[in-house]
Structure 1
Amino acid sequence: MQTGPLETGGWLGSPVGRVLPGLGLAMLIAVAAFALRQLPGVGMLSPLILAILIGMGFHNLVGTPAIARPGVAFSLRRVLRAGIVLLGLQLTVQQVLAVGGIGVALIVVTLIATFLFTSWLGRVLGVDAGLTQLIAAGSSICGASAVIATNTVTRARDEDVAYAVACVTIFGSLSMVLMPLAGGLLQMGPQSFGLWAGSSIHEVAQVVAAAYARGQEAGEFGTIAKLTRVMMLAPVVLTLGALATRRLRRDGGEASRAAPPVPWFVFGFIAMVGVASTGWLPSGLLSGSATLTSFLLATALAAMGLETDIRKLAAEGLRPALLGAGAWVFISLFSLGLVLMAA
């Protein structure tokens, strides 16, 4: 009897064959996300956000086929980590130096204060610890990229990741619209406004849109400030991984013998920052790597959407949304206060 393609002896039974259907589906959704950004009014959303929305829509309306599951899992692990490593090529030590010592200190203090405040507020509201950490990371560091990177050590549910991404998308978009208006009312200078936008708005794309609305100088400074903030992703994820490992060992039992969630890929991220800082890479290569990075992360978030059940997402209730709103208000006002004091 001839072996069918779905059986162990067929090509889909090989390691590569098992991965291809789900990986191909996730990549196709990522392509669709990039294409949708060309539509009027959709360009303000990053392809990462569009990818998880399309993936969720496909999963909940059509259903993710069983044959795609190995490839979806591959996208959530290997493709995601490759994207985060390449993200390091978009950052340089020189960019941090351009922000200045006061600017870097302001960004770091804002990040730490926001993360701690969000963690405290999550406990007060009774939000699950894993979801709280995801919202805290997304709000304080760099939106969806921070959410999915942090989840490699928090190991929260896919629904929690989707909820956290939704929070940073909604509230970051509000900042993108409201902050240029507030900056005008406060008569903030271009560098002050750029630093405020870069240190408080969630997504890189949202920072660019808001900062450039106040002029070229504000846009450039805001983008550099935001990329400096993105660089903090590595130490935060490493710290959370170390804390998670300590909790496992402290709790004992079977959990203590489980593999500790050490995010080794973060060291690759740091290495890529070092490579980019040398200035040896041509601008064309850096531009291409930025596009590839966005595509890989969009593929990973598409896979996340393909495993997200909207009914479970709705079951989270309003408390995580209140947590996201609280984090947004805190980081906006806290960073504004520091910027005005430093001006």
Structure 2
Amino acid sequence: MLVLVGGAGAAAIAFRLSSNMQSVDIDSALGGDRPPAAADGAMNILLLGSDSRAGDGASRSGEPARSDTAMVLHVYRGRQKAALVSIPRDTLVTRPACTTPSGTTDRGGARQMFNASYSVGGPACAVSTVERLSGLRMDHYVELDFTGFKKIIDTLGGVTLTTTKPIKDAASGLDLTAGTHTLNGTQSLGLVRTRKSVGDGGDLGRIQLQQAFVKALLTQVSGSGLLRSPTRLLTLADTATKSMTTDSALGNPAALVRLASTLKGLASSGLQALTLPVGPDAQDPNRVVPLATESRQVWEALRDDQPVPRSATERSMGDKGTAGSLVTP
């Protein structure tokens, strides 16, 4: 992209995008006690949506931001296929010790809420928790807040999808009739945050909507010619870099362009979307816990750069229900 605009213009654009970006040196924060790198040609990225509204001038009554959505994207060797594993925010996990923003150490421990990791220790703690849970090294980290998500969707011109039934959710503000819609940023955020009116009213039904939305987004981006248009790509890059936090290896425009180029062949038909296999917690009906055997199947398959077997999700609460069928690309 920068080559196409040439010379001084490229330098100016690079400076502009660089000044937009925020990054975190996760490698330095976590040190050497981490899983080994992915198999040759494969890549693991932790995608995190935070409920921070910092870019919108809003706050949550002084509370620290939380990880509202977490997905591990495993891109297979060859870059034509990927697996997307959603981790329910109410999952109870063993959280490793993490450094807090004030510089103290939180000792973590068993039966900790997964989404509290980000609140306790920011991106580094979130990555460390996922690596401890999965045994996979996260090669990259990409975080997007609510405001950034809405702006990116609006920059793309919205996302077109079809709802098979009406979806109305007072909590998220979403109100859609059955049929085909082009959702703007606000509506898209409402969709991926809707849970009260779908499935069992909890996080698992909402995750299914999120996965359906990601597939619709991939279908639209791959068919829109966006990645072949330097002008549109630059506009999107400007919006995105103002809205995201990445690991330091992605903390410059050239690295983001290389990543986008690497992933340009990925389409929704090549995406296997699933939820971390979970079951009800015996002590708290509002929490879930990973199913030991099935979760191990998921992470071992990805560690070996293989598709996740169907047997891994057959007993999981996360991939039951019909919320995902409410939305189609």
Same fold flag (TM > 0.5): no
Richer in helix (by share): 1
TM-score normalised according to structure 1 size:
0.30
- Relative contact order higher in (CA < 8 Å, ≥ 6 apart): 1
Richer in strand (by share): 2
Bigger Rg, structure 1 or 2: 1
